[in-house]
A = this chain, B = another copy of it.
Amino acid sequence: MTPELEDLFAFLRFPSISTDSRNAGDVRACAEWIVSKLTAMGLQTTLHQTERHPIVVAKNAHQPGKKTVLIYGHYDVQPVDPLNLWSTPPFEPEIREGKIWARGSTDNKGQMLAHILGVEKTLKEKGDLPVNLIFLFEGEEEIGSPSLAPFLEANRELLKCDIIAISDTGMVAPGQPTLSYGLRGIAACEVILRGPARDLHSGIYGGAIRNPATEIARLVSTFHDPEGRVQVEGFYDDVKPLEDWEREMWAKLPGTSDDDFIRYSGASKTHGEAGYTSAERTWARPTAEINGIGGGYQGEGSKTVLPAEAFAKFTFRLVPNQDPADIMEKVKAHLDKHCPPGVSLLYVGGHDGKPFYTDPNSSFGQAAQEALRKSFGKDPVLIREGGSIPIVQAFRDILGVDTLLLGLALADSQIHSPNENFPVENFEAGIRLNQALLEELGK
């Protein structure tokens, strides 16, 4: 086994599950291992205590005139249950079929350590880095990064940089270098419809009193037309249209066809807004999604009740240049317009996050593309992603800096699931990618 893989195995053996307080000691031990590693590499490294899990910051000796690059990663991992579905224990890494099997192998220890080892290699080979480097590693990403934004607020000077790079997203196919330049935003809310004062007998009252379960269904059904378009007035007003080059590039991508979506989801067909492909629908078009609906009897069999209330939980995935607050106003107006008499509507606002978009052909974007090309020997593809990464928005809002997303995860990496794995070749490519990226960004 190479020294690099030995380092990764040591890193993976920490059960650094951030959500479980019984693992708090393991999370801290993992952070201390990182500190030792970085210190041994000659970086000036500090462990910052937070209310839960430490943040580690490391820097080389910064020199005026050089670009400053911040590389973010997280060393905490998701829980491992159901444990019985793992082929080998989640914290006893093993290599099989060219892949490293362990919790955190892809998300995010494997990708994070590749950056560390790339820096180590460059330092060994050249004695110095081509950029001023800041490593920023947190232990709370899997619980929503509660300490990160306050830490950024409190350490703007310490973290001042020109560009940020993260390897925590996906590749469209094995061996296909991928730069993500956009993320969808989100706006969540819940709607509760209340009718009668209590659950009623559906024989005695059915037919004469509005049924909140029926009405929540009717209300939800007003959100889409049969072609999958969202019917909230003004919903698409600020949507940045897809550019021709995006549609052309995405049409040729592996791993994003309707058949791929069907295979990954287990659904029998794809479906969405008319006039767009599945990749376009999930990466560049906004949605109105029902995450939960409920009301009345939930048990087995039947109960002849006319329920007192029913609810629906919505999230709207937003794209540039939609604004979450503006969208929620429009959604509220839609709800008020379609709420029937005889039931009252309670609106409960939820979390939100802005969509993210950065020009992939900016000078930093071109540097990232070149680094991907060099380390994989192949032209990178440019994609957006359908999910939201709130830290990217926090970096922009607080530090005023854009982020390059150079992901190494594969569709079958099983992140957050049993049997998480990371190809050895992706790990090795990640080390090369770090070296190339810093070189290109430093130019």
Q: Tell me if A240 counts as interface (CB < 8 A to partner B).
A: no
- Which residues of the other chain, B, contact A190 by a CB distance below 8 angstroms? 302
| Docked-complex contact A291 and B268, CB < 8 angstroms | no
Q: Tell me if A33 counts as interface (CB < 8 A to partner B).
A: no
Q: Tell me if A64 counts as interface (CB < 8 A to partner B).
A: no
The residue on B at minimum CB distance from A298 is B294
Q: How far is the CB of A412 from chain B (nearest CB, A)?
A: 14
| Docked-complex contact A204 and B282, CB < 8 angstroms | yes
Q: Tell me if A188 counts as interface (CB < 8 A to partner B).
A: yes
CB-CB under 8 A for A269 and B214, given A282-B205, A304-B315? no
| Docked-complex contact B269 and A341, CB < 8 angstroms | yes
Stretch at the interface among A154-162, A193-201, A391-399: A193-201
Q: Tell me if A347 counts as interface (CB < 8 A to partner B).
A: no
Give the residue of B198, B210, B289, B302 whose beta carbon is less than 8 angstroms from that of A306: B289
| Docked-complex contact B202 and A265, CB < 8 angstroms | no
CB-CB under 8 A for A297 and B312, given A290-B217, A342-B267? no
Q: Tell me if A377 counts as interface (CB < 8 A to partner B).
A: no
Stretch at the interface among A39-47, A95-103, A104-112, A270-278: A270-278
> What's the Cα separation between A75 and B25 when bound, in Å?
64
- Which residues of the other chain, B, contact A217 by a CB distance below 8 angstroms? 216-221, 290, 293, 312
| Docked-complex contact A278 and B216, CB < 8 angstroms | no
- Which residues of the other chain, B, contact A214 by a CB distance below 8 angstroms? 220, 223-224, 289-290
Q: Tell me if A378 counts as interface (CB < 8 A to partner B).
A: no
Q: A198-B266, A291-B306, A292-B297 are in contact. List 17 more A-B contacts (CB 8 A).
A: A190-B302, A197-B267, A203-B387, A204-B385, A205-B264, A205-B282, A207-B287, A208-B271, A211-B289, A213-B220, A217-B290, A218-B224, A221-B221, A268-B342, A271-B341, A291-B303, A301-B350
